[in-house]
Amino acid sequence: MNLKKIQAMPFAPFRRESMERWRVTVKEPVVDGERMLVVDFLENTACVSYKRETPSFRIVCGKKSGEVKGITHEGKVQQKVLDSFRRFTGEYAMISPREEEALRRFLKAEKTGNHQLDNLCKWVEQTRQKMKKRSMEERGELMDEDYRLCPEALPEGMIDYIRREVLPEDRVIIYKKGNVQGTCSVCGRKVHVIGRRFVQGARVNCPNCGARVSCVLEDGCAFAANYIENVVAVQKGTDGKTVFFRQWLLRRDHTARWEHIEDFLQETVRYAIRGAKTAKWQKQGKWNYYMKTERYSLDDWTRWSDNRIYDGGYYFYTGGIETALQGTAMQYADLEGYLEEKRHNRNPIYFLEYHAKYPVIEFLWKAGYRNIVHNRIFGMDRENRNAILWERKKLKECFRFPLRILKLMPPEEWSLNDIQRVNDLWERYGEKITDTEIRLVLESKVDIQLWSRATAYASVGKILKYIQKQTEKRKEENPDRRNVSKDESARIYRDYLRECEQLHFDLHDREILFPKDLTAAHNRTMEQVKFERNKADQEKFQKAVEKLEKFAWSEGEFFIRPAREQMELTAEGKALHHCVGGYIGDMAEEKTAIFFLRKVSEPDKPFYTLELQKKRVIQCRTEHNASYDRNPDVKNFVDMWMEKVVKKGRKKKAKEAAA
């Protein structure tokens, strides 16, 4: 759909003193041989006293191309226009009979009570769904109905696995209200306690078999009251291409007999992988509030926009997994080795998914960089998420620095944070930094951004050695503090260097670059910078005020003058409860001008505050940001001031320039 011609069509805003909020106009231009429907929604500015997210907007419909687009009043194509249009069915709009008939012809619909706008909303929503489906097919995404490709039968051997591995780990007593009777999941017998009571969460010995168990109130809010655990298995889809990870909730058999385990399995999630594409469907929803989880069943399998895998506890049944993964990028994953990993959280579905999405995961794992893989699955943050080029196919292509640097540490010691540190070093210094210096940076674990400023005056080794020495000194001086770290010392050092540069100190002098007491030196420079800044800001502010004095004026019961001191702005904002105190810097930089409008009878009492930019009134407000429009006397005074003083000054300059 070519929108250039339609984007160039102007909007026709209107203002009418009536209750009609919108005016709808309809045009039918022909673009590239296709007749389009262009519907403009023009907002009545007289009815709006606040800024809306979507003022006047345009809907463009193409029946032949099967597309619909939203255009803002600024001419930008944006999805949010169509999102907000959903809510338009309840709005009243003015539309002519001719344009209403044009809508009806395009939509081929009967007459309605809302001038065809409700039918237009339905058409737009249906077309968007078709566009979404078409786009997904073009990208090779899994479709909403692909959950039907999942086998319905239970994986072979899973019932035996549950009986052998899952049930023996369920060691609880489900007790009834009254706290003396319950059923033990270990021996399956009803038990009765004498002389004491069962307490939720307490660990006790079963009165019958003696097994150590946890107490859980029957039908209580605890998960174990109604469920044992989640169980996940892998199966190949009926199309032979899609791999499904199926998740069941094993509901509790309150008799503890478990004669037909399949009757207590409730399938809740289907997670699918085809190639590098993923999708998730759910048959159950959850609502979490006040440390409690309410579960509710869905009518049918529902496509979930959030594709994240449940990373809590679940049993992973590996029976038949080789067959399910055969012929996919996941077939070479070392799943057995991953499940045996110690000291790490484990999520086998994520592990296999990343093998499908990022081939480099397999090479990293087999080369011994397992911490990096674990970080990718569980430990990424905004700072290191792009440390590795995950989409690359080869190991040497996914790092931003030469592979020789990886030999500076054993593979098992590398983490994503370390990779990002080296990336920062390499981007900043390249071949200028030695491998020895890189090793020192990796061993220190100090954030590079905190000390890189000092490399203009000293070597990396000397800087890190100094930070380490200052950290030890601060620990000796503050033995009770636990948060004395090298990063904290480096942060102080960064601020100290910045202040030294602002004060024009000679950092090539070792006494200044590496002071014996960093904390004390930082305190001194901080106070000096503060003094110099205040002095300079005050001078700039006063120069700005001098230029504004020519606009001071008095007429009748009011007068106006510029703010003359920084403290005046702060006091004005505090008295009138608005934010003018934050304009000190902008006024000193002459980006804006602040004036005080006051009564002649009360010259020292804050009344209205006015902001002037390029000889235009930006705002004029009194207490709690109330506008001057609400006070006719003040409005007339400001208009007269603008005409007689502010704009007159502009005309005078123009005459002088002409002369």
DSSP run (H or E) holding 115? none
Q: Are 172 and 297 in contact (CB under 8 A)?
A: no
* Rg over CA atoms, the chain: 36
1 pLDDT above the threshold of 80: no
The residue among 345 and 160 whose pLDDT is bigger is 160
**Average confidence (pLDDT) over 548-556:** 94
40 pLDDT above the threshold of 70: yes
41 pLDDT above the threshold of 70: yes
- Joined together, the tokens standing for residue 171 give 């060691």
pLDDT tens by residue, 113-145 = 778 888 899 999 999 999 999 999 999 899 999
Q: Are 627 and 610 in contact (CB under 8 A)?
A: no
Query: If you count DSSP H runs as helices and E runs as strands, how many of each does the chain have, helices first?
Result: 21, 23
Angle in degrees, CA 420, 424, 429, rounded to 5: 145
Q: How far apart are alpha carbons 275 and 141 in whole angstroms? A: 9
Give the model's confidence band at 286: pLDDT under 50 very low, under 70 low, under 90 confident, else very high.
confident
Provide the angle, in degrees to the nearest 10, between the axes of the packed helices 566-576 and 518-548. 80
Q: Please report the pLDDT score of residue 449 as a whole number.
A: 83
512 pLDDT above the threshold of 70: yes
pLDDT tens by residue, 227-252 = 999 999 999 999 999 999 999 999 99
Q: Please report the pLDDT score of residue 488 as a whole number.
A: 87
Alpha carbon of 571 to those of 418, 587, 589, 604, 605: distances in Å?
A: 50, 16, 20, 11, 11
102 pLDDT above the threshold of 60: yes
- Which residue, 391, 403, 440, is CA-closest to 376? 391
The residue among 551 and 195 whose pLDDT is bigger is 551
418 pLDDT above the threshold of 90: yes
Q: What's the mean per-residue pLDDT of the chain?
A: 88
Q: How buried is residue 31: exposed, middle or buried, by Cβ count under 10 Å (0-12/13-18/19+)?
A: middle
Q: Are 239 and 147 in contact (CB under 8 A)?
A: no
Angle in degrees, CA 538, 544, 549, rounded to 5: 120
454 pLDDT above the threshold of 50: yes
Which residues does 394 contact at the CB level (< 8 Å), separation at least 6?
Answer: 360, 363
Q: Are 222 and 309 in contact (CB under 8 A)?
A: no
51 pLDDT above the threshold of 60: no
153-167, 340-354, 576-590: segment of lowest average pLDDT: 576-590
Q: Please report the pLDDT score of residue 168 as a whole number.
A: 94
Q: Are 243 and 237 in contact (CB under 8 A)?
A: yes
Q: How far apart are alpha carbons 423 and 545 in whole angstroms? A: 49
Q: How far apart are alpha carbons 624 and 575 in whole angstroms? A: 10
Q: Please report the pLDDT score of residue 514 as a whole number.
A: 94
pLDDT tens by residue, 482-501 = 667 888 899 899 999 998 99
656 pLDDT above the threshold of 80: no
Q: Are 85 and 68 in contact (CB under 8 A)?
A: no
Give the model's confidence band at 171: pLDDT under 50 very low, under 70 low, under 90 confident, else very high.
very high
3-state secondary structure of 198: coil
